[in-house]
Amino acid sequence: MRRFFRPRVVRAAVAVAAAVLPCAALVPVASAHSVAPPANPVAQRLDAYWNPARLTAALPVDTGLDRDSLYSTAPDTGAAASSSVDGPMPGEFIPPSHSFDGMPQTGTFFWTDVGGTGRTCSGSVVRSPGHDLVLSAGHCLRGYSGTSPRRNLAFVPQYHDGLKPFGVFPVRVNGVYVPQQYYDLKEHAGAQYDYGFAVTEPNQDGKQVQDAAGAVQLLTDTGYHHAPVRMIGYPGGADKPLECWSRTTRYDSDDPDEPGSYPRIACDAFVGGTSGGPMLVPWKGGWAVVGVIGGYHTGGYTSQISYSAYFGKSVGQLYGDAVTGAPPARPAS
């Protein structure tokens, strides 16, 4: 059964609205001269910091893996790819990807690590009561908490060609939500929990990210098999995002270091930086997200095959924590 999230606070708001509906005529309508939301000085500072040179120079998040070079060191036995060395199956068709100007609901995170190096990962805006929530991979966001906070963390919807068409959205203090299991088990044993949410502040014009760029629906418990799937990601240092149409299937790991079952998708050229990029399916005239690049081998050893952690009950629970402002999980001290 497909599940999508409309937290109780939303239903309560609807009930209140219904209760006052007969008096709606008494409520004044906002005029064309309504006061604009106040500017956000944090967003203004980050907009200035993330100039075209820094945006272009940002590197993919450091996972310790080079997707293609690592896979290329494995001996070619001619056998089908196994779980311990993931990659294309013999004769498998790999749908091509192409660069484009992106879509408003997807974008990229930028931040500086503790060494001052600019880093980047992909993300997507998901519908939420606060209109402020962005989904990505856990291995992208985990370092923002604990003893190694990443600085200047912000989300830029539809970034392309050095442009920030909807502005810059800072990530709120204590606004990073990654599962406690991912912190405790680490990226390999905890690959099934490789997802996270970032609660953002308004942009430099005072707009929330969902109001400015729109959002996609979050779906959970929808199974592993989806078609068509539109996957979008931002390669590190690229001027434009990549897009690919394919399908997802179930992949059962036999790697004892990274157990579990994962959605698997074949798409060419999804290299470092695309981590956290959404796997989208058509949904009620728009889009819904059923996975993000990550999970098994932090997204895969090759640029032709990508994975996601399965979006089940725990994703919905983490979403609930983020939208209600619950204390986020933290790495063990």
Query: Would the CA dihedral through 96, 264, 104, 200 be positive or negative?
Result: negative
88 within domain boundaries:
no
Question: Exposed, middle or buried by CB within 10 Å (0-12, 13-18, 19+), for 108?
Answer: buried
CA distance 221 to 231: 19
User: At residue 141, what are phi and psi to the nearest 5 degrees?
Assistant: -100, -15
What token pair was written down for 83? 């779980």
Across 35-51, average pLDDT: 93
Q: 267-282: b or e for each residue (b if 16 or more CB lie within 10 Å)?
A: bbbbbbbbbbbbbbbe
| Secondary element (H or E) of residue 181 | helix 180-189
The pLDDT assigned to 116 comes to 87
What token pair was written down for 86? 């993931």
- Cβ 323 vs Cβ 133: under 8 Å: yes
| Local confidence band at 333 (pLDDT 50, 70, 90 cut-offs) | low
194 within domain boundaries:
yes
Report the SS3 class of residue 140: helix
30 within domain boundaries:
no
139 within domain boundaries:
yes
| Local confidence band at 78 (pLDDT 50, 70, 90 cut-offs) | very low
244 within domain boundaries:
yes
User: How many CA atoms are closer than 13 Å to the CA of 16, on its beta-carbon side?
Assistant: 6
Pairing of strands 59-60, 151-157: unpaired
CA distance 193 to 309: 6
**What are the tens digits of pLDDT across the range 140-193?**
998 776 555 568 999 999 999 999 999 999 999 999 999 999 999 999 999 999
- Sequence-distant (6+) residues with CB within 8 A of 23 are none
What token pair was written down for 144? 């923002």
62 within domain boundaries:
yes
**What are the tens digits of pLDDT across the range 90-112?**
999 999 999 999 999 999 999 99
CA distance 107 to 242: 11
Question: What's the structural domain count of the chain?
Answer: 1
CA distance 162 to 327: 35
| CATH number of 131's domain | 2.40.10.10
CA distance 235 to 224: 25
80 within domain boundaries:
no
Q: What is the extent of the structural domain holding 303? A: 41-73+93-324
CA distance 213 to 321: 23
279 within domain boundaries:
yes
More confident residue, 11 or 162: 162
**What are the tens digits of pLDDT across the range 230-269?**
999 999 889 999 999 999 999 999 999 999 999 999 999 9
What token pair was written down for 13? 């708001």
